[in-house]
């Protein structure tokens, strides 16, 4: 059967074998209770505006219409082959996150209800039942890719990402509440009034929506996409994994960019912004493995079965040579995750940890040592990039990125002579940091796991 993109939303029962039909209908029957829950959430949305006294007409209509659509779409979604209705429910849930950013409600209840109900709708719409029609499209196969020593989609791989994404969401939501003027002050334990000045700066106001709320939205989507799909999702739901990776990697880059702009453009540091940026970076090493496995699958399907990347992205595939990793007991999942995270921390190369600490010092040095000007801006920029690639390179998959520190170290050595340094302290600090970083970048550190054909690139 030749599936097309439109089949994600529109299918006919006759398109599939009796076995597929039976499996799909049984699965849909087991999870159909979620749509009754979503109908209740629709009623909740309709009741929100009069209950909480919404003052922005656009938010009133957004909640009422969203509630009505959820009720109607959930009715259609109870039919096993109405995939389009099941997808619309998910899209409405995501809209509930976006609406407060677009309409800027004057009361915090609009933001709170949007996030709460939107989260529940997406969980009921795609996390619990999985992708609409998944049992029609998925192919049999392993959950451990060929040549890999572990499953990149296992829960112990994804739980840390979900945890850090939740942490980032709460930080972003708190700062966003200040930007939306729901609270009149914002806490900063180290930089005094720095957080307030950063959040009210021209850089923050240059975004069409409050940048902290945008960050909270991104983190919440990371949470939901981290939860979506089972332990086979690297091959059964490639689109989830790829979008998950796109959300995490650029978010980390954007966060570190905003950190660089704090002292350069704003002139102040923000503790909560730095914390959010660190959370974004820490998530990358945990997520990059799964993205690699999905890319390997797509290349395998293209080579072995002549399946286009586009088709594999949406419908997944299979892979010969892998094996099935037994699903862990949920009661021991948290203990297992904590043990593996602790084990991974001890495997992180000590040289990259030192490079990261040196990068942090380079960022902080202008404020601590009291120098400014072009060399200070260079230190802020170079230090932030050093920290970024040190954390990413701690992942075994991204270990080759450590070589970029050689270039960054050379720049730190050369910068005082190219840019000029008015103070000896600035010059010697930059020289010393570069001289420390360069030799440390050569050590690869221990690589414990196997990742098939990609192993030859981990040098």
pLDDT digits over 24-36, tens only? 999 999 999 999 9
Question: For residue 270, what are the contacts with CB-CB under 8 A and spacing of at least 6?
Answer: 188, 191, 194, 195, 197, 198, 199, 262
| pLDDT recorded at residue 336 | 63
What is the number of structural domains in the chain? 3
Is residue 268 domain-shared with residue 219, that is, in the same domain? yes
Could you give phi then psi for residue 104, rounded to 5 degrees?
A: 50, 70
pLDDT of residue 260: 76
Question: What pLDDT score does 208 carry?
Answer: 80
Q: What percent of the chain has pLDDT over 70?
A: 95
Average pLDDT score over residue span 154-163: 87
List of residues 6+ apart from 14 with CB closer than 8 A: none
pLDDT band at 141 (very low <50, low <70, confident <90, very high): confident
Q: What is the CA radius of gyration of the chain?
A: 24
Sequence-separated (6 or more) residues with CB below 8 Å from residue 284: 248, 249, 252, 391, 392, 395, 398
Is there a contact between 284 and 209 (Cβ–Cβ < 8 Å)? no
Closest among 113, 93, 89 to 35, alpha carbons compared: 89
Looking at the structure, tell me whether residues 395 and 358 fall in a common domain.
yes
Q: Which of 112, 137, 162 lies at the terminal end of a domain, its last residue?
A: 137
Give me the pLDDT at residue 305, please: 87
Q: Give the pLDDT confidence of 173-217 residue by residue, as tens digits.
A: 999 889 888 888 898 888 888 888 888 888 777 778 888 888 899
For the chain, give the mean pLDDT: 88
pLDDT digit string, tens, across residues 251-308:
777 777 777 777 777 778 888 888 888 898 888 888 899 999 999 999 999 998 888 9
Taking alpha carbons only, the member of 394, 402, 413, 178 closest to residue 287 is 394
Beta-carbon-side half-sphere exposure of residue 359 (alpha carbons within 13 Å): 27
- Asked if 158 and 269 sit in the same domain, the reply is yes
Q: Which of 323, 347, 371 is a domain's end point?
A: 347
How far, in Å, CA of 165 to CA of 439, rounded?
A: 34
Q: What percent helix, strand, coil does the chain show, rounded to 5?
A: 75, 0, 25
Residue 204: which CATH number?
1.20.1440.130
> Is 306 found in the same domain as 169?
yes
Q: What is the DSSP letter of 459?
A: -
Mean pLDDT of 450-456: 89
Helix intervals (H) in 78-154: 83-103, 108-122, 134-137
CA distances from 142 to 236, 320, 453 (A): 10, 8, 17
Domain identity same for 130 and 158:
no
**Per-residue pLDDT at 326 exceeds 70:** no
Q: Please provide the distance, in angstroms rounded to a whole number, between the alpha carbons at the two ends of the chain.
A: 42
State which of 289, 315, 347 marks the end of a domain.
Answer: 347
**Whether 151 and 124 share a structural domain:** no
Please check whether residues 317 and 187 belong to one and the same domain. Answer: yes
Question: Residue 374 pLDDT > 90, yes or no?
Answer: no
Predicted pLDDT of residue 337: 66
Query: No. of H helices and E strands in the chain?
Result: 19, 0
Q: What value does the mean pLDDT take over residues 97-124?
A: 89
Average confidence (pLDDT) over 349-372: 91
Q: Supply the range of the domain harboring residue 275.
A: 143-347
Give the pLDDT confidence score for residue 425 in this predicted structure. Answer: 86
148 beta partners: 451
User: Residues 289, 338: one domain?
Assistant: yes
Do 371 and 342 fall within a single domain? no
pLDDT band at 329 (very low <50, low <70, confident <90, very high): low
Spatial separation of the C-alpha atoms in residues 168 and 207, rounded to whole Å? 19
Query: Which residue, among 63, 172, 174, has the nearest Cα to 121 in the 3D structure?
Result: 63
User: In terms of domains, do 192 and 329 share one?
Assistant: yes
435 and 393 assigned to the same domain:
yes
User: What percentage of the chain exceeds 90 in pLDDT?
Assistant: 50
Summarize pLDDT for 385-435 with one digit per residue, the tens.
Answer: 999 999 999 999 999 999 999 999 999 999 988 887 777 888 899 999 999
Q: What is the pTM of this model?
A: 0.89
CA–CA gap between residue 443 and residue 447 (Å, rounded): 12
pLDDT band (50, 70, 90) for residue 449: confident
Average pLDDT rounded to a whole number, residues 219-242: 92
pLDDT at 123 over 90: yes
Whether 97 and 236 map to the same domain: the answer is no
């Amino acid at each position: 059967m030749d599936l097309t993109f439109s089949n994600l939303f529109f299918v006919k029962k006759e398109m599939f074998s009796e076995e597929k039909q039976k499996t799909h209908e049984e699965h849909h029957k087991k999870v159909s209770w979620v749509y009754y829950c979503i109908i209740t959430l629709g009623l909740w949305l309709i009741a929100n505006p009069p209950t909480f006294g919404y003052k922005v007409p656009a938010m009133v209509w957004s909640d009422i219409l969203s509630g009505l659509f959820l009720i109607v779409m959930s009715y259609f979604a109870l039919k096993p082959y109405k995939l389009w209705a099941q997808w619309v429910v998910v899209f409405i849930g995501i809209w509930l996150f976006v609406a407060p950013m677009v309409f800027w409600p004057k009361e915090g209840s609009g933001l709170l209800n949007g996030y709460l109900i939107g989260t529940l709708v997406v969980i009921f719409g795609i996390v619990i039942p999985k992708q609409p029609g998944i049992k029609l499209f998925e192919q049999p196969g392993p959950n451990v890719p060929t040549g890999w020593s572990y499953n990149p989609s296992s829960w112990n791989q994804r739980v840390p990402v979900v945890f850090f994404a939740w942490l980032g969401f709460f930080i972003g939501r708190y700062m966003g509440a200040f930007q939306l003027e729901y609270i009149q002050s914002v806490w900063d334990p180290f930089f005094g009034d720095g957080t307030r000045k950063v959040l009210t700066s021209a850089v923050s106001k240059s975004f069409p929506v409050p940048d902290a709320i945008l960050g909270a939205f991104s983190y919440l989507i990371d949470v939901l996409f981290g939860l979506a799909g089972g332990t086979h999702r690297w091959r059964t739901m490639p689109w989830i994994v790829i979008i998950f990776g796109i959300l995490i990697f650029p978010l980390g880059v954007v966060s570190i960019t905003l950190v660089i702009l704090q002292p350069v453009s704003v002139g102040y540091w923000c503790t909560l912004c730095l914390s959010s940026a660190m959370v974004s970076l820490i998530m990358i090493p945990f997520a990059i493995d799964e993205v690699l496995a999905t890319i390997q699958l797509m290349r395998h399907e293209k080579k072995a079965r002549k399946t286009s990347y586009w088709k594999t992205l949406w419908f997944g595939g299979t892979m010969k040579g892998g094996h099935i990793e037994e699903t862990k007991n949920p009661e021991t999942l948290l203990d297992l995750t904590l043990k593996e995270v602790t084990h991974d921390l001890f495997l992180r190369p000590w040289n990259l940890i030192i490079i990261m600490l040196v990068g942090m010092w380079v960022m902080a040095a202008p404020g601590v040592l009291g120098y400014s000007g072009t060399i200070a801006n260079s230190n802020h920029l170079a230090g932030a990039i050093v920290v970024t690639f040190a954390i990413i390179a701690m992942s075994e998959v991204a270990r080759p990125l450590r070589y970029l520190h050689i270039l960054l170290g050379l720049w730190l050595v050369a910068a005082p002579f190219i840019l000029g340094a008015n103070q000896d302290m600035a010059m010697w600090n930059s020289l010393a940091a570069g001289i420390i970083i360069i030799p440390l970048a050569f050590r690869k550190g221990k690589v414990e796991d196997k990742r098939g054909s990609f192993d030859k690139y981990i040098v």
